[in-house]
């Protein structure tokens, strides 16, 4: 039997905190207990926010925690061609369209829609435009004229094409959801898959990479639980296998908020500099001793 494949996939846009430690340690524990493999993927598609010193800090912090991962590490910024190929396949199926509104224009449209306009699972109002608002020929002309654009998934068409989808949840969603769960990608509206200056997006690259790397188990925080609906849809449209998902609780700060990379107090490097031994980190995130 081929061994299970786990991955920890941080973005080097800040220092790792206790929430990352829980994710990384859980992935490492599960890989060890199942004689599986542990991959590390650097999710650095956003070239303006990701920095080499944060990537180096990821390696240092994980090594300090006693985690061992396979080399070479996959760095997403070195694989834009793979995401372009996937996007081209979705385009060829007629599921992608360009939109041109600025942030300000979208905000204005949302004001006109009023308070009852639906929000996505993260609380952001869904895209108020749609494919029908402009002819494809005009969209092409505006792209060729060099205007900034976002490439969006035509969600209604994509869902109609893919049909009903489920995923296997071995952990739990924020409301205790577990087992075989129904994907609800429509709740996200016409998500962005790429932009003029960025040939991919989180959703697209994560799905392509999990498949290319043969990931069988995605272990990550509950903040990404509902994104799994979009991931399942993209997997179905691209003919990619679906891993098992295991979403874990989030580590909250004293005010009950999700930890942020900008809070220094819970950064692993700050805890290390303060003299905490790595085993203390396991205790702080509520994991038993190995």
Which residues bind to ligand GLU, rule: CB under 6 A?
9-11, 43, 206, 220, 224
Enter the DSSP assignment of 177: -
What is the bridge-based pairing of β-strands 244-248 and 217-221?
A: parallel
Distance CA 90, CA 244 (A): 24
Which of residues 30 and 157 has its CB atom nearest to ligand GLU in the complex?
A: 30
Q: Report the DSSP beta bridge partners of residue 17.
A: 267
Which of residues 58 and 271 has its CB atom nearest to ligand GLU in the complex?
A: 58
Residue 177 C-beta: closest distance to ligand GLU, Å: 17
The closest of 37, 110, 80 to 195, measured between CA atoms, is: 80
Residue 157 C-beta: closest distance to ligand GLU, Å: 25
Residue 274 C-beta: closest distance to ligand GLU, Å: 24
Which of residues 9 and 40 has its CB atom nearest to ligand GLU in the complex?
A: 9
280 CB-near residues (< 8 Å, 6+ apart): 271
Which of residues 98 and 233 has its CB atom nearest to ligand GLU in the complex?
A: 233
Distance CA 227, CA 206 (A): 11
Residue 220 C-beta: closest distance to ligand GLU, Å: 4
Which of residues 46 and 60 has its CB atom nearest to ligand GLU in the complex?
A: 46
Residue 112 C-beta: closest distance to ligand GLU, Å: 33
The CA-atom distances, in angstroms, between 40 and each of 58, 209, 242 are: 10, 11, 19
Distance CA 170, CA 181 (A): 10
């Amino acid at each position: 039997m081929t061994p299970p494949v786990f991955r920890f996939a941080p973005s080097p846009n800040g220092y790792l905190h206790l929430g990352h430690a829980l994710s990384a340690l859980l992935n490492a524990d599960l890989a060890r207990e199942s004689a599986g493999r542990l991959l590390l993927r650097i999710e650095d598609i956003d070239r303006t926010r990701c920095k080499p010193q944060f990537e180096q800090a990821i390696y240092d912090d994980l090594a300090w925690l006693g985690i061992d991962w396979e080399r070479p590490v996959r760095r997403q910024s070195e694989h834009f061609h793979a995401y372009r190929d996937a996007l081209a396949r979705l385009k060829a199926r007629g599921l992608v369209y360009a939109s041109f509104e600025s942030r300000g224009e979208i905000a204005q449209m949302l004001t006109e829609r009023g308070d009852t306009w639906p929000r996505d699972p993260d609380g952001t109002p869904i895209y108020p435009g749609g494919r029908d608002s402009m002819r494809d020929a005009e969209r092409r002309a505006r792209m060729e004229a060099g205007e900034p654009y976002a490439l969006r998934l035509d969600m209604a068409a994509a869902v109609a094409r893919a049909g009903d989808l489920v995923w296997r949840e071995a952990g739990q969603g924020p409301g205790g959801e577990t087992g075989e769960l129904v994907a609800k990608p429509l709740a996200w509206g016409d998500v962005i898959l790429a932009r003029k200056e960025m040939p991919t997006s989180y959703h697209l690259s994560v799905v392509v990479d999990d498949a290319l790397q043969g990931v069988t188990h995605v272990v990550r925080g509950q903040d990404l639980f509902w994104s799994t609906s979009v991931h399942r849809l993209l997997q179905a449209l691209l003919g990619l296998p679906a891993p098992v998902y295991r979403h874990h609780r989030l580590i909250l700060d004293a005010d009950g908020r999700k930890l942020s990379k900008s809070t220094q107090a819970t950064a692993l490097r700050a805890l290390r500099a303060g003299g905490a031994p790595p085993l203390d980190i396991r205790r702080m995130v509520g994991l038993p001793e190995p």
